[in-house]
Amino acid sequence: MIQRIQTLLLLLATIAAGLLLWEQLALCNIDGSALSEIGQDSPLSDGKYEAFDSPISAGIVGLIIVLNIVAIALFKNRPRQILFSWISLVLMVIFTLFMGIWFYMNYTTLPPNCDVSPAPGIILPVLTITFLFFAIRRIAADERLVRSMDRLR
């Protein structure tokens, strides 16, 4: 199970998605008095933009992690493994779009002296999508190889 490259890619995608729960996606660099002007309902009210700012995004990331773990466990059923990986990939794209749109909607309400800078966690969704894409390709190649060997028998 672990010796297959697609399992390692799925594991890396799971780790990258799991790190989304702890890493910030963007930081708002302003002083404390201006930070209180933002308002409590803004995702940048604490100066950090992260996946836990919205229960929807935290739920999507949790679901992606569970789907990746299930896909790793389904190493004997490659078509189902591909299905779970595709669902996880689509959910990660939805998460990325949701966080981008939600950030833009809240960015317009920030005070002008708020300097928003990307945090290192901004690369994690891209890494997760990349790892999932290459895992799907490797699983499909493995399935084609097994089917071609079955024809030879």
pLDDT, tens only, 8-67 = 999 999 999 999 988 888 877 765 555 555 555 666 666 677 888 888 889 999 999 999
* C-alpha–C-alpha distance, residues 72 and 69, integer Å: 5
- What would the CATH number be for the domain defined by 5-152? 1.20.140
**Residue 124 · residue 103 · CB < 8 Å:** no
Residues 90-141 pLDDT 10s? 999 999 999 888 888 877 777 677 777 888 889 999 999 999 999 999 999 8
Q: How far apart are CA 132 and CA 145, in angstroms?
A: 20
C-alpha 81 chain-centroid distance = 18
- Which residue from 31, 27, 93, 37 is spatially nearest to 60, judged by alpha carbons? 93
> Residue 3: enclosing H or E segment and its boundaries?
none
**For the whole prediction, is pTM greater than 0.75?**
yes
**What are the distances in angstroms from CA 106 to CA 54, 61, 94, 113?**
12, 21, 18, 15
- Asked if residue 16 lies in contact with residue 142, where contact means CB atoms within 8 angstroms, the answer is no
Domain boundaries, the chain: 5-152
Torsion of CA 87, 96, 27, 131, to 10 degrees: 50
